[in-house]
Amino acid sequence: MLRRSLPLLLLLVSTPLWANDRSRDSLGVFGDWGAFRDPETPRCYAIAEAEANSSRRDFQPFASVATWPSRNVRAQVHFRLGRRLAENPRVQLAIGGERYTLTAGDGDAWAADTRTDRAIVAAMRAAGGMSVSATDMRGNRFTDRYSLDGAATAIDAANVGCAQIR
């Protein structure tokens, strides 16, 4: 388990995504997912990087599920995709037998509404993996894949981490 968690820990320590956020608190690493609290924003989130592959990437892809107490937002799903997207991309999330069409722009994708966020998080809790497929700006289809090992626990830790923040 430590061997599998080490790449995530190294990512969390070294990636610019977190480098400017010195105020965040680690809530733990759970399988392939980590949970954090940022009291300045305030927000809490569960996050994981996409599985490694040999395809070209414009960005380091990650998936996150965030709670923003001051905005009354819970379990908001966000994906940073591995490539810049085509003008009108069709972005599909597959979790188990479920498929979701995501809203997207540039290199990011998210659920269209809170109902879809909730459905995605429920599917994440029950599945072992998920994948996001889209068309990049060169017209090529690509897929970012994620392990969901530890996702449910990391999401719960993020929710508990922000339970007292208003």
Question: Does residue 43 lie in a domain region?
Answer: yes
Residues 81-126: tens digit of each pLDDT: 999 999 988 999 999 999 999 999 999 999 999 999 999 999 999 9
Question: Does residue 22 lie in a domain region?
Answer: yes
Residue 6: pLDDT over 70: no
What is the residue whose two structure tokens read 């414009």? 58
The CATH number of residue 14's host domain is 2.60.40.1880
Residues 28-68: tens digit of each pLDDT: 999 999 999 998 889 999 999 999 988 888 899 999 999 99
Neighbours of 31 (CB within 10 A): 18
Neighbours of 52 (CB within 10 A): 7
* pTM of the predicted structure, to 2 decimals: 0.84
Question: Does residue 166 lie in a domain region?
Answer: no
39: containing domain: 2-161
Identify which of 21-25, 116-120, 137-141, 161-165 has the greatest average pLDDT.
Answer: 116-120
Question: Does residue 60 lie in a domain region?
Answer: yes
Question: Does residue 82 lie in a domain region?
Answer: yes
Between CA 163 and CA 16 the distance in angstroms is 27
Structural domain count, the chain: 1
Question: Does residue 26 lie in a domain region?
Answer: yes
